[in-house]
Chains A and B, each alone.
Chain A
Amino acid sequence: MNNYDIIVVGAGPAGVSAALEMSQAGAKVLLLDEQSSPGGQIYRSITKTSPELLSALGPSYSEGASLVNKLAPSKVHYQPCATVWQFGDDGILLYSVDGQVTQATGKHVILATGALERPVPIPGWTLPGVMTAGAAQILLKSSGVVPEQAVLAGSGPLLYLLATQLIRAGSPPKALVETQTTSDFIAALRFLPRTFAAWKMMAKGLDLMREIKKAGVPRYKSARDLTAIGTTQVKALTFEAKGIKHKLDCDSLLLHQGVVPNTQISRSLRLEHRWNKRQACFHPFTNGVGLTTNDTYSIIGDGRAIGGAHVAVLEGQNTGAFVAASFGFQVDPDRVFKLLKILEKERAIRPFLDRLYQPPKEILTPKDETVVCRCEEVSAVDIRDYAKIGCLGPNQTKAFGRSGMGPCQGRCCGLTVTEILASENKLSQQEVGSYRIRSPIKPVTLGEIAQADDDN
């Protein structure tokens, strides 16, 4: 049997720092991640990147090396290429490495499984050539592959970061089409905190804008009615900005509207979730140190609430220290409190960013003809029709049509279905709720399920 004091799932900044914290305190820690190397989304492939790529990706990427490099010499049992697909209430997990199933038990499990990019349902978003901005970034980080003359569209800091990374890699985007408006900026200013960390972040943002301007990449602001045009491949993006209609030819369109916690695992465990209005998504309900409504599970990092990489590291240390201490391992008693104080400062910028990059209504509740469920090709009008004939919640939509029943298990349509049903039925998103998620949370073969049964 594989018994551990603590199992951490996810080797991004949150998971790595939690695992290190607990292992240093003397705990026996297993760290599982489905990627082939540690780093998570932000520091993806950092242990393998070439020096040229490192300079294109910039300091916000390369700073991850100092954290991730601590993993190899540590006592943490790190298992890459491990997809965890079943999470038991009692801390028993099933994971597959190359088709081989292993069961592992933790007295406590920390979920550090991060975020997903918010779905960006615009007409034509299913066309080949339309991807998320994060997807293009993964291509760059993992394989040094770049889109040529891409159009970047949407909102959020990642859009500007990707633009500069593509510029430095020698493949500048054709244009930046931003849905953010001047009134978003003014509304956000109210939330600007008076902290040094906030100013530092603002300065970094302005540096990115300057770099984009210097490279001569045109920026369109307050864009509306975004539509991807094409039949078997995207050919253009059309939109309206400040009363003028635009058409930009492109065969690579990169969409982004921020990131949201990936709640598939926490849903499969039937943990309590709460709608967060500011981030327009569900958060698993946790206490100050990340403990969920099941005492065996904690959640840290962007899977808990969107806070960014620095918050993810601090939450990893904080929850790591707390969990280690609660199992009787040696931790400086003040550490948990000190970290909570730092976290409070580090999180202060979030309300400003959340308001500044708030997704527009046309993304949250898309126009009728827009495909919402990519797997089963269910459109917004279909969901609205279900609501008219009495459909109240996302699980019921499955009885009316097939939304959420394809291979992605609702990862790409869940939030949109919740938003549409809330707006049609005049209910809150909390009342509407979300899809029920069952194990396995990742597709596994019958052979893998049989192996798991044999082992039990």
Chain B
Amino acid sequence: MFRRLKPQGQKIQIFFDDQEIEAIEGENLAAALLAADVTHFRSNPVSKQPRAPYCMMGACFECLVEIDGQSKQACMIEATVGLKVGTLKDISGVDDE
């Protein structure tokens, strides 16, 4: 599992699938979720197997989450006060076809 070293900055609340999670304002969203022991970010659309961040640099898309009805890469976003994040319901929108 993951651990946050000495927290720097303002503590805030964000939500993952309606669960309240503590984060640090401006920290990487994927990092915030991992530090809160979220291990299942999305399910692979083919095998339905759980997936979680692999590259943390925007390349693999394993960190896709839903924010405001859109799929977003959690590793490319910062945590902001009250941010509502959810597991993806429909990922067809991100297919490049």
> Given A145-B35, A407-B96, does the pair A126, B44 have CB atoms closer than 8 Å?
yes
Write the residues of chain A forming the contact surface with B, with a CB cutoff of 8 angstroms: 34, 36, 41, 50, 52-53, 116-117, 126, 128-132, 134-136, 138-139, 142-148, 169-171, 232-233, 251-252, 262, 374-377, 405-409, 411-412, 438, 442-443, 445
Min Cβ gap A50→B in Å is: 5
Closest to B58 in A: A34
When distances are taken between beta carbons in the complex, the residues of chain B under 8 Å from A409 are 96
When distances are taken between beta carbons in the complex, the residues of chain A under 8 Å from B7 are 144
CB–CB A139/B39 < 8 A: no
- Contact-residue size bin, chain B (C-beta under 8 Å from the other chain): 35 or more
Tell me the bound Cα distance from A128 to B35 in angstroms.
Answer: 14
The answer, yes or no, to whether B81 is at the interface (CB within 8 Å) is no
Tell me the bound Cα distance from A149 to B46 in angstroms.
Answer: 31
CB–CB B3/A171 < 8 A: yes
Tell me the bound Cα distance from A192 to B75 in angstroms.
Answer: 38
Contact code string B54-97 (vs A, CB < 8 Å = 1, else 0) = 11111111101000001100011010000000000001001111
When distances are taken between beta carbons in the complex, the residues of chain A under 8 Å from B62 are 126, 374
Tell me the bound Cα distance from A407 to B72 in angstroms.
Answer: 11
Tell me the bound Cα distance from A117 to B58 in angstroms.
Answer: 12
When distances are taken between beta carbons in the complex, the residues of chain A under 8 Å from B64 are 407
When distances are taken between beta carbons in the complex, the residues of chain A under 8 Å from B59 are 116, 262, 408, 411-412
Tell me the bound Cα distance from A143 to B29 in angstroms.
Answer: 9
Could you show 28 A-B contacts with beta carbons less than 8 Å apart?
Answer: A36-B78, A116-B55, A126-B51, A128-B40, A128-B51, A131-B55, A132-B55, A134-B55, A138-B28, A139-B28, A139-B31, A143-B32, A144-B5, A144-B6, A144-B8, A145-B4, A145-B28, A145-B35, A147-B3, A232-B49, A233-B39, A233-B50, A377-B44, A406-B95, A407-B64, A407-B94, A408-B59, A412-B59
User: From residue 1 to 54 of chain B, which have CB atoms closer than 8 A to chain A?
Assistant: 1-8, 24, 27-28, 30-32, 34-35, 39-41, 44, 46-47, 49-54
Min Cβ gap A226→B in Å is: 16
Min Cβ gap B80→A in Å is: 12
Tell me the bound Cα distance from A411 to B39 in angstroms.
Answer: 23
> Given A139-B34, A143-B31, A145-B34, does the pair A170, B54 have CB atoms closer than 8 Å?
no
Min Cβ gap B55→A in Å is: 5
Min Cβ gap B10→A in Å is: 14
Tell me the bound Cα distance from A405 to B97 in angstroms.
Answer: 7
Tell me the bound Cα distance from A323 to B84 in angstroms.
Answer: 46
Closest to A135 in B: B56
Say which residue of A36, A145, A232, A406 sits within 8 Å of B2 (CB atoms): A145
When distances are taken between beta carbons in the complex, the residues of chain A under 8 Å from B46 are 376-377
Give the interface centre of B41, B94, B96 by most chain A CB atoms within 10 Å: B96
